[in-house]
């Protein structure tokens, strides 16, 4: 289970560092081709979502890696799960059913990370 956690955590962390980093630093025009929803959400909220994703990625990796409060990894995974449920709801409200596949995959990975997260 240890190895499985690290595989899932590294995949999620890489995804959220990339996506969160883009949301945290790029402007609306740069984000719009990849994320059509940014035109309906205030830019300050897009930035907050980006920072939350970066912090979630750090929470998946740093606590188990350092051994300091490893239970925070479970909290980070659950936070990312909630974030993706809300993102899926946003896509469904906009009629973007095709885009919810990625949300479903990320929900499954976050649930797996929460279940596999170390508690030592």
DSSP per-residue string spanning 17-29: HHHHHHHHHS-HH
Is the Cβ–Cβ distance between 51 and 21 less than 8 Å?
no
Instruction: Tell which residue, 11, 16, 2, has the closest CA to residue 84.
Output: 16
* Mean pLDDT of all residues in 38-54: 95
pLDDT at 25 over 90: yes
pLDDT reported for residue 69: 92
Task: Answer whether residue 74 shows pLDDT above 70.
Answer: yes
Give yes or no for residue 120 having a pLDDT over 80. Answer: no
Q: Is the pLDDT of residue 21 over 90?
A: yes
1 SS3 class: coil
């Amino acid at each position: 289970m240890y190895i499985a956690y690290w595989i899932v955590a590294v995949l999620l962390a890489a995804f959220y560092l990339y996506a969160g980093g883009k949301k945290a630093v790029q402007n609306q025009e740069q984000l719009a081709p990849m994320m059509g929803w940014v035109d309906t959400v205030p830019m300050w909220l897009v930035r907050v979502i980006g920072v939350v994703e970066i912090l979630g990625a750090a929470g998946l990796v740093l606590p188990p890696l350092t051994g300091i409060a490893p239970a925070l990894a479970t909290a980070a995974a659950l936070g990312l799960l909630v974030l993706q449920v809300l993102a899926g709801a946003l896509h469904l409200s906009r009629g973007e059913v095709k885009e919810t596949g990625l949300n479903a995959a990320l929900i499954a990975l976050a649930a797996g990370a929460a279940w596999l997260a170390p508690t030592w």
